[in-house]
């Protein structure tokens, strides 16, 4: 059970967040702590280990303690105040951290996951701050990485953000209420600089739920990412920023659905991410096709499986050769999860990624969430651990 504490209690514990107490106000302290032991095959620790033709070499097996294997460890505060007439003031502050050493998930950013404040009524919620886009809201819950599978089940490089690698700064967001199962959202992230198109973002999505059926569709665009990554809507740490340094724009769209019947949930999702590389004058298109399944053997024991096929195509603008620099990946994942209580569970999972026509950089084989790419055409991860929610 999440711990509900009054605003007065929060002010006593967190002096910097002191607010007056109200009878119809509440603040919730919540979080996730996830840690375990992980084995990774063929991992390269230094990118400089490459052959003259650009192939990665020197991969070794790595075994050690890791955090955030299924869900990134985090703590947060969320609250609401009844303003009367059906109106509420809401806020959410959420900070990710590395449980193995206590460091912040992103340097110099305390609330690196979310930090927003807004107003809510019967029609929906409008909020301002650092927030997730519509792809995370509507497509991620239909995928293995965004529902039960977690970090290692993300698509290569989390190129489509289903594992929520990107949070949008300076954003205003509207999330509608639920209208007979239908909801929608829209987001705009300001560049906060001259030339408002530089490093801005916008996104829109919609979803539908009825009985065991859930559907979702979303689109996101990040624009001018290579121009200023310190004060705009998108900062460093994204797949594009870390692996494709010349990327100017990223466009991601997708759709998916899931259906639950009895103890079984079946899902599928398709996403396409396009990257425009201004420096190399090429574009890259990633197509991700995923199917996943979850079976609750007992109320305590759950089993999951997922398969993803990812295709990457590169093309030079003005040409018809869309296969230039093509690569593709096959990824298989299995998970077993056992609930010790309503808030604590133990898990074991393995993810295997196989590649073809892959080279160094973004074309290398690398399971999402690992520290380095593979020195061969495959990489697999085996992990087991414990997760606690509060």
At 234 the pLDDT is: 77
The answer as to CATH 2.60.120.560 being correct for domain 3-389 is: no
Which tens digits make up the pLDDT trace of 80-130?
A: 999 999 999 999 999 999 999 999 998 888 999 999 999 999 999 999 999
What average pLDDT score do residues 365-390 get?
94
Q: Burial letters for 318-342: b for 16+ Cβ neighbours within 10 Å, e otherwise?
A: eeeeeeebbbbbebebbbebebeee
**Which of 44-48, 232-236, 281-285 has maximum average pLDDT?**
281-285
Bridge partners, 39 (sequence order): 63, 382
Asked if pLDDT for residue 278 goes beyond 70, the answer is: no
pLDDT at 13: 41
Domain residue ranges in the chain: 3-389
Would you place residue 358 in the very low, low, confident or very high pLDDT band (cuts 50, 70, 90)?
low
Main-chain phi, psi angles of 115, to 5 degrees = -160, 100
- Model pTM? 0.87
CA distances from 316 to 216, 271, 320, 358, 361 (A): 32, 22, 8, 19, 18
pLDDT at 314: 78
pLDDT score at 283: 82
Q: What pLDDT, on a 0 to 100 scale, did the predictor assign at position 21?
A: 45
| Res 317 pLDDT > 50 | yes
Is residue 151 within 8 A of residue 143, CB to CB? The reply is no
pLDDT in tens, 28-68: 999 999 999 999 998 887 655 566 555 667 788 999 999 99
Q: Which range is least confidently modeled, 144-148, 224-228, 358-362?
A: 358-362
Q: What pLDDT sits at residue 249?
A: 86
Q: What is the average pLDDT across 118-145?
A: 97
């Amino acid at each position: 059970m999440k711990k509900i504490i009054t605003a007065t209690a929060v002010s006593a514990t967190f002096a910097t967040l002191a607010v007056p107490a109200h009878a119809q106000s509440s603040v919730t302290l919540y979080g996730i702590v996830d840690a375990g032991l992980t084995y990774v095959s063929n991992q390269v620790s230094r990118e400089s280990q490459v052959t003259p033709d650009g192939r990665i070499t020197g991969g070794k097996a790595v075994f050690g303690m890791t955090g955030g294997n299924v869900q990134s460890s985090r703590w947060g505060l969320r609250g609401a105040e009844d303003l009367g007439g059906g109106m509420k003031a809401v806020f959410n502050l959420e900070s990710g951290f590395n449980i193995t050493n206590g460091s912040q998930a992103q340097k110099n950013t305390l609330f690196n996951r979310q930090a927003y404040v807004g107003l809510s009524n019967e029609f929906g919620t409008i909020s301002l701050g650092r927030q997730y886009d519509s792809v995370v809201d509507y497509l991620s819950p239909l995928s293995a990485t965004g529902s039960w599978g977690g970090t290692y089940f993300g698509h290569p490089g989390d190129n489509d953000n289903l594992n929520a690698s990107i949070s949008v700064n300076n954003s205003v967001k509207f999330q509608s209420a639920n209208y007979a199962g239908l909801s929608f959202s829209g987001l705009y992230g300001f560049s906060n600089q001259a030339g408002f198109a530089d490093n801005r973002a916008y996104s829109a999505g919609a979803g539908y739920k009825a009985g065991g059926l859930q559907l979702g569709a979303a689109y996101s665009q990040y624009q001018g990412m290579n121009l200023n990554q310190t004060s705009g809507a998108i900062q460093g740490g994204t797949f594009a920023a870390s692996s494709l340094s010349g990327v100017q724009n990223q466009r991601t769209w997708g759709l998916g659905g899931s259906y639950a019947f009895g103890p079984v949930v079946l899902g599928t999702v398709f996403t396409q991410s396009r990257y425009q590389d201004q420096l190399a004058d090429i574009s890259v298109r990633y197509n991700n096709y995923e199917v996943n399944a979850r079976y609750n053997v007992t109320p305590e024991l759950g089993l999951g499986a997922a398969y993803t096929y990812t295709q990457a195509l590169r093309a030079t603008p003005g040409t018809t050769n869309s296969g230039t620099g093509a690569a593709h990946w096959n990824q298989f994942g299995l998970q077993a999860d056992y609930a010790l209580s309503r808030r604590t569970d133990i898990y074991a999972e393995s993810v295997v990624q196989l590649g073809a026509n892959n080279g160094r950089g973004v074309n290398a084989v690398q399971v999402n969430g690992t520290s380095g790419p593979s020195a061969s055409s495959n990489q697999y991860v085996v992990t087991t651990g414990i997760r606690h929610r509060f």
